[in-house]
Structure 1
């Protein structure tokens, strides 16, 4: 097992364990390594300071490692108060609306055109579908953070 300190494009720092360095490289190459805070998949290894014993000293005599001054957040708690608010907002929307899955674009367009009654919905749309909805004036917004089933 190997532990890496990672950093996403948004600047969040977190730690994660991998079976091996090759396992990390494979997962990262497939964009399966995601930020534990925001879900972004643009993740890179951050600078780490491993303990290195002085020449001539045995490993058991090596001084205690100096902690790196950048704290890493617990994976179970938000690193920033805004993250907790965004999580609450997502939970509220999911509780007060109907999940329509991959039919989101079709359902949102039908409501906008008046073909079906309006109701609060949430679901999934690819980039092209979302762009088309926005260009047609359909009021949509992305939910913050990754869907729970896609968070690692």
Structure 2
């Protein structure tokens, strides 16, 4: 399974899960993706970055969530929790030095290893510009209690 953050022509952002990247490409080519907020079928992948708030100052944040009553919600959350635990157990936490450490690993200035941490919007943009691969960890609802 792969998760993409998508956006419609009205700039609504929402997340969608696909079996794989090809499944997204197939559905996009067939024009069957629609925005759950406005029903627009003009959908594109949005820029995704780790641990970054997309809320703009003064603008309400628009999100689409899986309801607590959805029959597969508990299974999905359990799978995401397990994945996050596995990823973090096998990686070094580098805190706010994520961009710096990712860059050192990419340019072979330090040993290659899994890392996780936080990055600012500007740091994320710079990593993308430099062609450095990374991905966001899932943000789980029970982590905010």
Q: Bigger radius of gyration, 1 or 2?
A: 1
Provide TM-score, normalisation by structure 2: 0.49
